[in-house]
Structure 1
């Protein structure tokens, strides 16, 4: 007798969990900020949060609109952006040069890295009294503080990014006949880019922090000056407007950098949250 063939068992495909749509994710990310703003407004209106201590969001919004309409906000914002841009360019430029020299050359590592390692132990914001003696209390002080805040995150991340490159890749490129410049362009630069972008993101955050401190020292313009002047008259709504401006500037700069990083590192696929 021939054995009867067993019919094939139908396999039920596993249900795949669909990733949330981008629009749904955006709304979900806005949930907690909206809840916090509503709680803040309610606490201020009911007297739970005294208005002289912290103005309600509606009052802050009206004050911000008034400052934008009369041009006050634009003037101070332009001065702050100018200082931040100059400090970022100087600090990042020095970090790129010194980090590359220390990371690529043994003599550079011996001469550049030890003093930089020593200097990073000093909080740059604590150097304000000494910097006032060196460069005065004018624009040079603000730009110097921003440059110092930018330099160290950029330098150390670039240095670490270069040193973390697998030496076998460099040897393989040398074996294939690539010269020093070609190895830097095709092996070292792509390998160090993720660390460089991380350093740039940290540097931008440090730049805004340094600018806040710098603009509170003997200045007549800038968002920090606007906040300090408002503090003298207990105008908490103007102070909160300044804080929101700093937060939006930091958020916008980080968003732009994320987009640039995504376009520059198309070859890298990292773990995504589920």
Structure 2
């Protein structure tokens, strides 16, 4: 076989060899207002099923009936006054619980003595269903606003403690060694290393705590309450007003969704230096 024959059977190298095409493993760009699509799909299915007569209006009223009921409650001022009371309870409990949870996490996460004193008790408290404390809290605080705010604050404090403590103790020890090498003071170490490192976990805790405060409020406002969205729903149950109950559920859902959305926006602003899949 000659050299000419070998050239004929030899593979010809491509002339334009570029870098290999990189496959996309990430989820891609985020869809603007994509999280609204899920609720809209549920609403469309509900509307379609109601229009087709697949749903018994005595069990699940049509979206139009729920909207009419909401408009009626707004015109009478009932929905606004109930919503104001619920927001006050949830907001106050959330603020107190967030401050307490973060403070306890700082005590436990930055000091071994604080960890020994605080962490064990908080882990025990986490194992006890907080709503199971309702009978005891009623005996201690009565059935007024204080007991409701206290239960919400406890729920939020436990969530914030767990997430913040996890963020603090999860900081890479090499950063601590570096801070010691450059002789940072205690407050400088906390401000430049500890808090920025724990912020992602803190924001996760805030989002979970907002949800926890609304979930607790649903239960608390149906126990010896005389105002609030939960009380409105409880009264509607007695009169078999299903559409009013659904109005209350929609209000809870909307404010929970809006609260989570605001925290997401704040998280992106504060943690703009971080590159994640959700960016």
Superimposed CA distance per residue, residues 225-248 of structure 1 (whole angstroms, 9 cap, x where no aligned partner) = 111111111111110010010001
Which of these residues, 69, 74, 79, is aligned with residue 68 of structure 1? Answer: 74
Superimposed CA distance per residue, residues 179-202 of structure 1 (whole angstroms, 9 cap, x where no aligned partner) = 000000000010000011111111
> How much does 1:26 deviate?
4.1
> How much does 1:20 deviate?
7.7
> How much does 1:9 deviate?
2.5
> How much does 1:57 deviate?
0.7
Distance 2:101 2:37 in 1: 39
Distance 2:63 2:242 in 1: 11
Which residue is equivalent to 1:116? 122
Distance 1:197 1:224 in 2: 28
Which residue is equivalent to 2:132? 126
> How much does 1:45 deviate?
3.7
Distance 1:249 1:177 in 2: 46
The structure with the largest alpha-carbon Rg is 2
Report if the CA contact (8 A) 1:141-1:214 is conserved: no
Query: Aligned in 2, Cα 1:208/1:272: closer, same or farther, shift over 3 Å?
Result: closer
Which of these residues, 136, 154, 159, is aligned with residue 153 of structure 1? Answer: 159
Distance 2:102 2:37 in 1: 40
Which of 123-132 and 184-193 deviates more? Answer: 123-132
RMSD: 2.4
Which of these residues, 54, 67, 87, is aligned with residue 48 of structure 1? Answer: 54
Which residue is equivalent to 1:58? 64
Is 1:137 matched with 2:133? no
What is the number of equivalent residue pairs in this alignment?
265
> How much does 1:8 deviate?
8.5
Q: Which ranges of structure 2 fall in alignment gaps of 5 or more residues?
A: 1-11
> 3-state SS of the aligned residue for 2:127?
coil
Which residue is equivalent to 1:191? 197
Query: Aligned in 2, Cα 1:167/1:129: closer, same or farther, shift over 3 Å?
Result: same
Which residue is equivalent to 1:216? 222
> How much does 1:119 deviate?
1.2
Distance 1:88 1:30 in 2: 25
After TM superposition, list the pairs within 5 Å mapping 1:192-207 onto structure 2.
Answer: 192-207=198-213
> How much does 1:66 deviate?
2.0
Superimposed CA distance per residue, residues 201-259 of structure 1 (whole angstroms, 9 cap, x where no aligned partner) = 11111000011111001111111111111111111111001001000111100011001
> 3-state SS of the aligned residue for 1:120?
helix
Superimposed CA distance per residue, residues 158-182 of structure 1 (whole angstroms, 9 cap, x where no aligned partner) = 1111101111211211211210000
Is 1:259 matched with 2:241? no
Query: Aligned in 2, Cα 1:91/1:57: closer, same or farther, shift over 3 Å?
Result: same
Superimposed CA distance per residue, residues 84-119 of structure 1 (whole angstroms, 9 cap, x where no aligned partner) = 111011111111111100000111011111111111
Distance 1:183 1:27 in 2: 38
Distance 2:167 2:34 in 1: 35
Query: Aligned in 2, Cα 1:121/1:31: closer, same or farther, shift over 3 Å?
Result: closer
In the superposition, the TM-score normalised over structure 2's length comes to 0.87
> 3-state SS of the aligned residue for 1:257?
helix
After TM superposition, list the pairs within 5 Å mapping 1:167-186 onto structure 2.
Answer: 167-186=173-192
Query: Aligned in 2, Cα 1:169/1:85: closer, same or farther, shift over 3 Å?
Result: same
> How much does 1:10 deviate?
3.6
> 3-state SS of the aligned residue for 1:269?
coil
> How much does 1:16 deviate?
9.4
> How much does 1:70 deviate?
2.5
